[in-house]
Structure 1
């Protein structure tokens, strides 16, 4: 758990390594975890902390406010020094001036301390292993009262925090002759001018009560002196910080960035390892599923591709209609013989062959005339005798009559060729097959390798 160590420094001119310093360790909720007093040189080893804040002696710093117009950030520091200079009795170069952000009303909180004394204190803290991350004026380390002031008596001074960015310090006059408490006497002029509704007085409380109507007094425990919120700016100016070997303002951010990068890389590697295991397991499951689905595969190297190839092969074989299936042949027959749609008498299909018998046998047929064959002359078995040639021969007999034949309409044959079909007639039935040649005489020949083309058989004239 990150903690904050707050130190109440004595007056800067008297600070040395053996000075006893009051301290408190705060957690993230500003609760006091430990408090005490130790020599400065022993604090680093006895009280390790993540952040160190030093609280100056009330007499070592001054808190004020100046009013400035809106300015860019790089010009605000110079404007603050120019506004503070009329308030000083000495040279501004001898002071360390710090400021906060400009408020909406134009006010800018400022604080200053002796430059050399502050630089020496920062070096001493660093040498003792307590490099200060912030140096707070005494008023700005106290709690903030919601409707009043917070008061602490410390080292003969009345320290008052009047707001989140404001506070004042009044010295207690030990020779005061009034009957009031010396702290109240020192605070009385400020009370008359400011008139707060309530005073939160950190233990020990004053001996008397403020003589102001409407101002209530509430006691706070002693540990409340450590629990004030820091204003967000401090007198630990970078120019005054000593050179610390191995430690720089960027050390913390760089360390956090390196740690975050290491955690990110570790997580990335773990995630990649998990994804690799999941990929291996998924590939093994896919291989097992492919082997179970296709046991004839000898080796499975690429389960997805091999499964797709086998799926496509099965789809081409049985998942989709082939050219020899009934439905493609029936559709092709309807295109080949459109006149047979209302004359179908019988239909039979068997393994790539469709047979149709029509009520009208003349559909799709045409009549052709073919000459009859001439009769062979009769020959005698007697031996021939050589006779003198006669010029006058016997007159020829009558010519044979033509024979009428029924053949497939050439238009149907041409249509079958365009559909890639073979068509024949067999005993009054139309026989339709894919990828064959049919002749007029009903013969079938194998289709060429490049595809099926049906043409009329012209071999017989």
Structure 2
């Protein structure tokens, strides 16, 4: 048995925040650990997070034993409601009905109480900070041999307070007040924590990408500065290199002994969609490798792109394993590699 608090409720119609309510704290050993009487408004501080079993006044609930034919568990509630309808003084829809499981002989213990007073009482108890786990009719909370089952529970605490309670009660989830639905708090807290962790991870990943982009841009700027040391400030490495090479070509007819800069400039003209998206540039043995950042718009037709490359004496090839990576070389170099055994 888990530790819990038992309350002896007055008539539900008389319950207010100032009503004095007798209580007994039942320990794990089933004995009374503490008892007393407090106004409802103060009981929340006394109970804390303990589960609270509220025992209804004898006049607030009816308990009966009925016989129900064999039905599925899904239809048992409907069968019980139909069985008690002749016994109830109110329409069944205005009642809160709960019942035990069906025994082998068809016997079912059923209890009912007026729905509206129970809902209002639950709201008052929840407002006081009480974690209501069960509403138990008094006759089901007393020892089987209790000599006065119609007499309300009272202090001092005795054996009448300590009988085993049924596993079912009139505390149905659809009647639970919004302020008492603590089962949503943990999911909300965990969802908020997950959002915080996700945002932190996203910021960290963005910072890593920013660092990588900055490193690549610095590498490209360093390459341009080495090739053209007279450039005071490098802002757009590819465009500035193209302008410098065009100027040197006009003046001298060539920019360097190898094909690096002519290859870069020709590639820039063919892959115009890659402007401002170059993350990496690598040149080795006549092959220029470009790594592009996401966000560029690829050409609509690869055939048109191949024709444009051929006009500038280039051969383009997308990397088969790495997305956004392009290899550019001269057709003559590609043919040489193909013929090599």
- TM-score under structure 1 normalisation? 0.38
| Stretches of 4+ aligned residues off by more than 6 angstroms | none
Q: Is the 8 A contact 2:131 2:180 kept in 1?
A: no
* 1:53-452 mapped onto 2 (5 Å cutoff): 53-144=53-144, 149-152=145-148, 157-158=150-151, 222-244=157-179, 247-248=182-183
Q: What is the deviation of 1:110?
A: 0.2
Cα 1:57–1:246 change in 2 (3 A) is closer
Q: Is the 8 A contact 1:122 1:131 kept in 2?
A: no
Cα 1:232–1:70 change in 2 (3 A) is same
3-state secondary structure, aligned to 2:132: coil
Structure 2 residue aligned with 1:24: 24
Q: Is the 8 A contact 2:135 2:169 kept in 1?
A: yes
Unaligned runs of 5+ in 2: 191-341
Cα 1:203–1:120 change in 2 (3 A) is closer
Unaligned runs of 5+ in 1: 160-201, 205-220, 256-461
Q: Is the 8 A contact 2:20 2:38 kept in 1?
A: yes
3-state secondary structure, aligned to 1:35: strand
The separation in 2 between residues aligned to 1:115 and 1:246, in whole angstroms, is 18
Q: Is the 8 A contact 1:3 1:49 kept in 2?
A: no
Structure 1 residue aligned with 2:212: none
Q: What is the deviation of 1:61?
A: 0.3
The separation in 2 between residues aligned to 1:111 and 1:95, in whole angstroms, is 10
Matched, 1:37 2:33: no
* CA distances 1:397-439 after superposition (whole Å, capped 9, x unpaired): xxxxxxxxxxxxxxxxxxxxxxxxxxxxxxxxxxxxxxxxxxx
Cα 1:76–1:5 change in 2 (3 A) is same
The separation in 1 between residues aligned to 2:185 and 2:4, in whole angstroms, is 19
3-state secondary structure, aligned to 1:248: helix
Cα 1:120–1:91 change in 2 (3 A) is same
Q: Which has the higher contact order (CA 8 A, sep 6+)?
A: 2
Structure 2 residue aligned with 1:9: 9
Q: What is the deviation of 1:99?
A: 0.5
Cα 1:2–1:107 change in 2 (3 A) is closer
* CA distances 1:282-310 after superposition (whole Å, capped 9, x unpaired): xxxxxxxxxxxxxxxxxxxxxxxxxxxxx
Q: Is the 8 A contact 1:13 1:117 kept in 2?
A: yes
CA RMSD across the alignment:
2.7
* CA distances 1:231-278 after superposition (whole Å, capped 9, x unpaired): 1110101111111367127959x99xxxxxxxxxxxxxxxxxxxxxxx
Q: What is the deviation of 1:81?
A: 0.3
Structure 1 residue aligned with 2:242: none
Cα 1:14–1:5 change in 2 (3 A) is same
- TM-score under structure 2 normalisation? 0.51
Q: Is the 8 A contact 1:94 1:115 kept in 2?
A: yes
Task: Give the number of the structure whose alpha-carbon radius of gyration is greater.
Answer: 1
Aligned residues: 189
The separation in 2 between residues aligned to 1:132 and 1:37, in whole angstroms, is 18
Q: Return the structure number with greater strand share.
A: 1
Q: Return the structure number with greater helix share.
A: 2
The separation in 2 between residues aligned to 1:31 and 1:234, in whole angstroms, is 22
Q: Is the 8 A contact 1:151 1:158 kept in 2?
A: no
